[in-house]
Amino acid sequence: MGQPQQPDGPEAAKPPLRVGMVGYAFMGAAHSQGWRTVGRAFDLPLSPVLSVICGRDADAVRRAADRHGWAAAVTDWRDLVERDDVDLVDICTPGDSHAEIALAALAAGRHVLCEKPLANTVGEAEAMTAAAQAADRRGQLAMVGFNYRRVPATALARNMVAEGRIGTLRHLRVTYLQDWLVDPEFPLTWRLRRERAGSGALGDLGAHIVDLAQYLAGERLAGVSAMTETFVRERPLPAGASSGLSAVRSDGAGQVTVDDAALFTGRFASGALASFEATRCATGRKNALRIELNGTHGSLAFDLERLNELSYHDGTEPGTYAGFRRILVTEPDHPYLHAWWPPGHGLGYEHTFVHQARDLVHAIAEGRGPDPSFADGLQVQRVLAAVQESAEKNSVYTTVAV
């Protein structure tokens, strides 16, 4: 069994924040990295302790505990929620379990961090948000994990928009492209089943870009017009998988019940226009997220494949000298960078989870609302629901619920 990541030196004198995490796969590993590293990089008011990790496979979760430094491993999330060595429950499971775990954790008096999308349905997200708001009055915090807000370059872009450097927003364009579903023989995992994942590329990737677009713009979408498509409608079951899935054929293939790609336009409350593309079938694209904002005074562009850079055009300069310029976001006065390396030494994807943990620890210690809150996650869920409704109605413009 792994040993807990206990603080030493000055950290030992700080009050602990004992974390219990449900889920140990991709996101579990990323969140573990964040919790394990954050107290070593940042001067925190509380000292995170990796108390317990949970997963249904006893052997696999024990291996994860050893690898990532968790003190204990359990196979029932209900046991984790009720333990007396857990102050915060970190939810890294498929979307169909987010609501049940979060509601139980809040009822048990725990803080909660929940991976995106917040839930599989608007109804679940509404119940989670109501519980989070009630818990907030008891001093408990609940945050949703949109980690791309924590890239230093996107945080800097948000500051620049808020300072008026691009003027009034006119257009926003964002794409999130992956290719892991191009092969029709890729197996029917939980991410391809509506009852587990809620939706496909729309929820998996679209949730990220809807949140990032609204975060950078500083305003919310009012309506959308959408198309979705499922290119491969049946896939083989994973090796060793149960045939308990619905719509399984005699040859062992099963039905894909989510979208492979979503394409939609949107209008912000101010009247600014936006376009969104999310797909897991873009051959050659591994994790390609790009966003551009155009305003009356300038433009900003960010590419996740060059995540230490931000492109900025100052439209107030004379045309003779104007053009997009590259900002290398590695200076100590850039967001989060004071804790890391000398200028020019870039960060990576994993640092977004360290920054996420840093921001949540400070919010808990200072007793202020986390950002993004469950209410923010609910609003993204309402946008996703409007996209689905629009696609089902053949691209009729659909107002986002308030």
Higher pLDDT, 238 or 89: 89
Q: Which residue carries 């209008």 as its tokens? A: 267
Q: For the chain, what is the domain count?
A: 2
Per-residue pLDDT tens over the stretch 324-343: 999 999 999 999 999 999 99
What range defines the domain where residue 206 resides? 149-347+374-399
The pLDDT-based confidence of 2 (bands split at 50, 70, 90) is very low
The whole-chain average pLDDT of the chain stands at 94
Please state the rounded mean pLDDT for residues 101-129: 98
**164 and 97, same domain (yes or no):** no
Whether the pLDDT of residue 175 is over 70: the answer is yes
Whether the pLDDT of residue 94 is over 70: the answer is yes
For position 117, which CATH number holds? 3.40.50.720
**13 and 139, same domain (yes or no):** yes
**135 and 201, same domain (yes or no):** no
Phi, psi of 263 (to 5 degrees): -130, 125
**Maximum Cα–Cα distance across the chain:** 68
Asked whether residue 357 is domain-assigned, the answer is no
Q: Are 60 and 83 in contact (CB under 8 A)?
A: no
Residue where one domain finishes, among candidates 147, 162, 183: 147
Asked whether residue 163 is domain-assigned, the answer is yes
Whether the pLDDT of residue 119 is over 90: the answer is yes
The pLDDT-based confidence of 13 (bands split at 50, 70, 90) is confident
Predicted TM-score (pTM) of this structure? 0.93
HEC secondary structure over 244-304: CCCCECCCCEEECCCCCEEEEEEEECCCCEEEEEEECCCCCCCCEEEEEEEECCEEEEEEH
Asked whether residue 4 is domain-assigned, the answer is no
- Report residue 315 as tokens: 């439209």
Per-residue pLDDT tens over the stretch 187-209: 999 999 999 999 999 999 999 99
Per-residue pLDDT tens over the stretch 219-257: 999 999 999 999 999 999 998 665 445 545 546 799 999
Residue where one domain finishes, among candidates 89, 119, 147: 147
| 15 burial via Cβ count (<10 Å: 0-12, 13-18, 19+) | exposed
For position 263, which CATH number holds? 3.30.360.10
Residue where one domain finishes, among candidates 78, 113, 147: 147
**131 and 166, same domain (yes or no):** no
Please state the rounded mean pLDDT for residues 345-363: 98
Asked whether residue 361 is domain-assigned, the answer is no
Q: Are 32 and 69 in contact (CB under 8 A)?
A: yes
pLDDT at position 244 is 46
